[in-house]
């Protein structure tokens, strides 16, 4: 340690903090509301809506003005070309479903890397591009809440479009246990209010055989007790420890009837599930993904074409 001529102590200069990365998130209102992160020390996110009557040219102009250092596009095959053309710099396209089958895949060419919510698809090719990374569906920081005490018969909800399998699973519970089924059209503040009013979330995949929809992390993040049919992939969740495993329509009715009589019976699982939801928190997840994206592009170059 040394002293300045005036006698004040001089310490070694600390490294100035780097400004947060400007990251653009592009997609439909539903995906942006449910998956985009809150601002943090490392990320400065901005949302750009496509679809829903919004002009693609306006979205493109807004993207150009933001001048993002990285761009994430949810469901890129549904994004108009005019908006994709406005993307500059490192970019990540996130396939929110499986591999496209009958759809043209030309819209995937502008992306440096492609990602999926299904680990089994990592390394697969689509439209001449390699799927670079898989991660669980991110959950917007705005949807996180604390676990609340439960001293009455719990209120139960399920979110997801109607499919034959979901109807088969949920119909007995809707008749016997007053389960609210939300099929579509709820997002943003309306969704946050509903999550705060309900105590139990039920996840049923669209088809028999299992799945892991964005609703899984959403129910856990909101502090709800999660009842779910087989999770495939599990993304780190342990059945009957982080959530209650449901094995059929009758099993669902039995579990809900038990909760109606003993509301606090599974409170420990509810708390464990909320803790596990932190691994899906969007700000944390995308801080890692964007860092890896930039590092991968720096090491191997832009584009993800199959060699």
Encode pLDDT of 16-45 as tens digits.
Answer: 567 899 999 999 998 999 999 999 888 999
The CATH code of the domain that includes 189 is 3.40.50.2000
Q: Are residues 266 and 293 in the same domain?
A: no
- Judge whether residue 307 has pLDDT over 70: no
Q: Are residues 146 and 235 in the same domain?
A: yes
Which range is least confidently modeled, 121-135, 163-177, 201-215, 219-233?
Answer: 121-135
The pLDDT value given to residue 149: 86
The pLDDT value given to residue 2: 42
Residues 6 or more apart whose Cβ sits within 8 Å of residue 58? none
Q: Are residues 219 and 274 in the same domain?
A: yes
The pLDDT value given to residue 100: 80
Q: How confident is the model at residue 147 (pLDDT cuts 50, 70, 90)?
A: very high
pTM, 2 dp: 0.89
Does 218 map to a domain? yes
Q: Are residues 166 and 287 in the same domain?
A: no
The encoded tokens of residue 32 equal: 């942006």
Nearest to 20, CA basis, from 54, 45, 48, 47: 45
The CATH code of the domain that includes 116 is 3.40.50
Does 11 map to a domain? no
Q: Report the number of distinct structural domains present in the chain.
A: 2
Q: Are residues 191 and 227 in the same domain?
A: yes
| pLDDT one-digit tens code per residue, 216-275 | 999 999 999 999 999 999 999 999 999 999 999 999 999 999 999 999 999 999 999 999
Q: Which has more confidence, 12 or 305?
A: 305
Provide the domain limits for residue 34: 21-138+281-300
Q: Are residues 49 and 159 in the same domain?
A: no
Q: Are residues 159 and 233 in the same domain?
A: yes
The pLDDT value given to residue 8: 38
The pLDDT value given to residue 3: 43
The pLDDT value given to residue 140: 96
What value does the mean pLDDT take over residues 141-146? 96
Q: Are residues 181 and 254 in the same domain?
A: yes
Q: Are residues 134 and 153 in the same domain?
A: no
Does 1 map to a domain? no
Does 40 map to a domain? yes
- Judge whether residue 188 has pLDDT over 60: yes
Residues 6 or more apart whose Cβ sits within 8 Å of residue 49? 27, 28, 29, 32, 59
Q: Are residues 275 and 233 in the same domain?
A: yes
What value does the mean pLDDT take over residues 62-77? 94
Average pLDDT, the chain: 89
- Judge whether residue 14 has pLDDT over 70: no
Q: Are residues 203 and 286 in the same domain?
A: no
Does 14 map to a domain? no
Does 103 map to a domain? yes
Does 15 map to a domain? no
Residues 6 or more apart whose Cβ sits within 8 Å of residue 218? 34, 139, 143, 159, 195, 201
What value does the mean pLDDT take over residues 189-206? 94
Does 179 map to a domain? yes
Q: Are residues 84 and 100 in the same domain?
A: yes
What value does the mean pLDDT take over residues 66-94? 93
């Amino acid at each position: 340690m040394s002293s300045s001529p005036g006698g004040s102590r001089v310490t070694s200069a600390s490294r100035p903090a780097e400004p947060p990365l400007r990251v653009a998130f592009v997609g439909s209102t539903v995906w942006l509301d449910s998956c985009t992160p809150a601002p943090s020390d490392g990320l400065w996110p901005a949302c750009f809506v496509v679809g829903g009557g919004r002009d693609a040219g306006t979205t493109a102009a807004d993207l150009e003005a933001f001048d993002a250092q990285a761009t994430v596009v949810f469901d890129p095959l549904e994004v108009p070309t005019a908006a994709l053309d406005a993307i500059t710099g490192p970019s990540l396209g996130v396939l929110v479903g499986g591999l496209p089958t009958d759809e043209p895949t030309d819209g995937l060419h502008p992306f440096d890397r492609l990602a999926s919510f299904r680990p089994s698809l990592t390394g697969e090719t689509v439209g001449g591009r390699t799927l670079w990374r898989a991660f669980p569906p991110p959950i917007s920081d705005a949807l996180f809440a604390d676990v609340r005490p439960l001293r009455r018969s719990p209120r139960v909800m399920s979110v997801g479009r109607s499919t034959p399998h979901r109807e088969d699973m949920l119909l007995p519970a809707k008749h016997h246990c007053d389960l609210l089924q939300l099929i579509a059209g709820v997002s943003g503040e309306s969704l946050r209010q509903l999550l705060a009013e309900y105590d139990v979330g039920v996840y049923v995949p669209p088809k028999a055989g299992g799945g892991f929809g964005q609703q899984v992390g959403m129910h856990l993040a909101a502090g709800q007790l999660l009842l779910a049919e087989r999770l495939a992939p599990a993304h780190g969740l342990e059945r009957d420890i982080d959530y209650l495993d449901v094995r059929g329509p009758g099993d669902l009715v039995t579990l809900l009837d038990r909760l109606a009589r003993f509301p606090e019976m599974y409170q420990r699982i509810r708390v464990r599930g909320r803790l596990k939801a932190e691994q899906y928190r969007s700000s944390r997840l995308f801080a890692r993904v964007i860092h890896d994206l930039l590092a991968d592009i720096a090491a191997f170059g832009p584009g993800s074409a199959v060699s």
